[in-house]
Amino acid sequence: MTTPLVEVRDLVKHYRPAGWFNRNAPSIRAVEGVSLEVAPGETLGLVGESGSGKSTVGRAVLRLEVPTGGTIRFEGRDLADLSPAELRATRRRMQVIFQDPFGSLNPRRTIGASIAEGIEIHGLAPAAEIPARVDALLEEVGLDRNYRHRYPHEFSGGQQQRIGIARALAVEPAFIVCDEPVSALDVSIQAQVLNLLLDLRERHGLAYLFIAHDLAIVRRIADRVAVMYLGTIVETGPARTVISDPRHPYTRALVSAVPHPDPDRQGDRIVLEGEPPSPSAPPPGCPFAPRCFHSQRDRRCDQERPLLRMVEDRQVACHHEG
């Protein structure tokens, strides 16, 4: 069995509300007991609606957020046990592509300087060789090498995201967190950036944690998928089978919302009633119970939190599956 490149166990992240007037307010439970693995060269899609905790998981995996509880191992090492110097060296192997490409670039620096920064910090090449490496990275992501003297505002959104990808590649990572990297782009540009990410994965043997809310995109790029709701994973398994045959009621609702190009093949849309519970006061039972039709006839859903268990080829956290 392949040893996981990234291994997360029982990850918890709570936030204390800021401000003197909130000193007695309950903590916001952004992530509650998430466990996942990413193998070398694999893409794990992490999906869910806004506020489900997807981005918090990604930031915690990179130690951009300090977890409240749980363990995160990268290449077999617990990140919490690393010294600041060791963590800095390890971060070279763990990179991120942000949702907002322009916001992630320094507007006062040329893109060549932004891409070269990681190479310089980690001493990956002599100073004389860095310009050539920057040129090669720009060409690898589909940009002209002469662009390295320009500034971020001179590029389109798709080009800015390619620059962000080049900057992540510059330090030769093994694992990249892609935090909704195409959601801010036009549909035609989304396809180009996805194709680039797929090509780079094959060329460099990269592993991705691909965070998104669009299941059509996740089905195209991911090997496996984990579905999050209110800080917990409710279903996980092979991407194609989970999306084509969802078993958890929440996953079914997400899949039903994906538009189909053929209007005659549109299925019945599952419209969820009500709002997700507050992450500062989650329900005692199943987190999805207040919006699920199962809970209307089963009090167990309101009282007992379901755990992930194997159902055929995937894991599902539902009392009514399996």
Q: How far is CA 41 from CA 9, 162, 321, in A?
A: 20, 20, 31
User: Exposure of 47 by Cβ count < 10 A (0-12 exposed, 13-18 middle, 19+ buried)?
Assistant: buried
Let me know whether 159 and 195 are in one domain: no
State the chain's mean pLDDT as an integer.
90
Let me know whether 227 and 146 are in one domain: no
Is 155:187 a contact under the CB 8 Å cutoff? Answer: no
Asked if the structure places residue 99 within a domain, the reply is no
CATH of the domain at 263: 3.40.50.300
Strand, helix or coil at 136?
helix
Q: What is the pTM of this model?
A: 0.92
Residue 61 φ/ψ, nearest 5 degrees: -60, -35
Let me know whether 158 and 61 are in one domain: no
Q: 179 forms bridges with which residues in the sheet?
A: 211
Q: What amino acid occupies position 319? A: H
Asked if the structure places residue 285 within a domain, the reply is yes
Q: Which of 170, 202, 223 is the last residue of a domain?
A: 170
Let me know whether 196 and 212 are in one domain: yes
Q: Tell me the percentage of the chain whose pLDDT exceeds 70.
A: 95
**Which pLDDT score is estimated for 261?**
62
Asked if the structure places residue 26 within a domain, the reply is yes
Q: Which of 138, 153, 170 is the last residue of a domain?
A: 170
Q: 95 forms bridges with which residues in the sheet?
A: 176
Let me know whether 183 and 258 are in one domain: yes
Let me know whether 182 and 55 are in one domain: yes
Q: State how far the Cα of 96 lies from the Cα of 169, in Å rounded to an integer.
A: 10
Q: Record the tokens describing residue 182, joined without a space.
A: 């195409």
Range of the domain at 216: 6-93+173-316
Asked if the structure places residue 1 within a domain, the reply is no
Tell me the pLDDT tens digit for each residue of 183-196. Answer: 888 888 999 999 99
How many structural domains is the chain composed of? Answer: 2
Tell me the pLDDT tens digit for each residue of 107-166. Answer: 999 999 999 999 999 999 999 999 999 999 999 999 999 999 999 999 999 999 999 999
Rg (CA), the chain: 21
Let me know whether 146 and 282 are in one domain: no
Residue by residue, DSSP assigns 294-320 as GGGS-THHHHSPPPPEEETTEEE--TT
Let me know whether 205 and 295 are in one domain: yes
Let me know whether 178 and 289 are in one domain: yes
Each residue's pLDDT expressed in tens, for the chain with a length of 322 residues: 578 999 999 999 999 887 777 777 888 999 999 999 999 999 999 999 888 999 999 999 999 999 999 999 999 999 999 999 999 999 899 999 998 888 989 999 999 999 999 999 999 999 999 999 999 999 999 999 999 999 999 999 999 999 999 999 999 999 999 999 998 888 889 999 999 999 999 999 999 999 998 888 999 999 999 999 999 999 999 999 999 999 999 999 888 877 766 666 556 777 777 778 888 888 888 989 888 876 566 778 888 889 999 998 999 999 887 5
Q: Which of 170, 191, 223 is the last residue of a domain?
A: 170
> What distance, in Å, lies between the first and last C-alpha atoms of the chain?
26
